[in-house]
Amino acid sequence: MSEPGQTPPVTGLARKRDLWWQFTVRAVESRYRGSYLGLIWAVLNPILMLSIYFVVFGVIFGGHFRDPNVETLKDYAMAMFLGLTLYQLLAETLGSSPLLITGNSNLVKKVVFPLEVLPLSQVGGLWFNLAIGLVLALGTSAVITTGPSPMGLAWLPVIVLPLLMLSAGLAWLLSALGVFFRDLAQAMPFIAQVIMYASAVFYPVSRIPPGVWSILKWNPFLQTVVLSREVVLWGMPVNADRLLYTYLAGLASMAVGRWVFMKLRPAFADVI
């Protein structure tokens, strides 16, 4: 329920979609402004990242997700590429959100400006990079392996949508908390690394000990990574329970994140 006189969350955001789009475009442009290669970096960065992790985990450590007698190094690389592409959205959300409001102090002073648009615009720019990464990952998979099935491609947006909701909720939450806890920005790189190694990005969930799995299975990002590999790349049926859980987690993240942001927003100007 909304408070008296307060615009319902979904309706309020829908009315600000033009402003959100303008700031999202600005976020994308500012990310590559001044660089010689520009948007080419959106393609180079995931390729370079894949190369490093593939050499370490695929070649040196001999990693695999399925039966090594069936799975080739190319199959492993593509499965890892897909997981890394999804992870990059989460990592960049964690890294950029805590300093978002403090970095736009001029807008905080404007009473009429809807500050809740800023975190959404930031992740909107990251969603753009995610789209490029997914096209690159799936396109490469189609060239060097059997590639995803048409049904797997059809399921991809359904599987990824909860991750977008999760990133939006985290952006609201961390951008609000970052105003009051400046150390949060310093802790995020470490937390992002913990999430990466706790989300089966480089290894199969079958290697996780049962006791540890009883905890990690509640990680919605891990479930998204596993679902994307199983359904999109390996043509396995969708696990409805796990997919439903990612949607519930994504919706909860958005609800909690926006609630915290709107509650703390009146104090932003005083702290900054």
* Encoded tokens for 30: 């500012």
Identify the residue with better confidence: 40 or 204: 204
Q: How confident is the model at residue 2 (pLDDT cuts 50, 70, 90)?
A: very low
Q: How confident is the model at residue 18 (pLDDT cuts 50, 70, 90)?
A: confident
Query: What is the rounded CA–CA span in Å between residue 206 and residue 122?
Result: 35
Is there a domain that residue 90 lies in?
Answer: yes
216 CB burial (10 A radius; 0-12, 13-18, 19+): middle
**What pLDDT was estimated at residue 222?**
96
Rounded average pLDDT over 150-168: 94
pLDDT in tens, 57-82: 777 777 788 887 778 888 888 888 89
Is there a domain that residue 1 lies in?
Answer: no
pLDDT in tens, 84-117: 999 999 999 999 999 999 888 887 776 677 888 9
Say what the pTM is. Answer: 0.86
Number of separate domains in the chain: 1
The answer to whether residue 215 scores a pLDDT higher than 90 is yes
Rounded average pLDDT over 121-148: 86
Domain carrying residue 135: 44-271
Is there a domain that residue 16 lies in?
Answer: no
Is there a domain that residue 32 lies in?
Answer: no
Is there a domain that residue 206 lies in?
Answer: yes
Query: What is the rounded CA–CA span in Å between residue 206 and residue 237?
Result: 18
Is there a domain that residue 3 lies in?
Answer: no
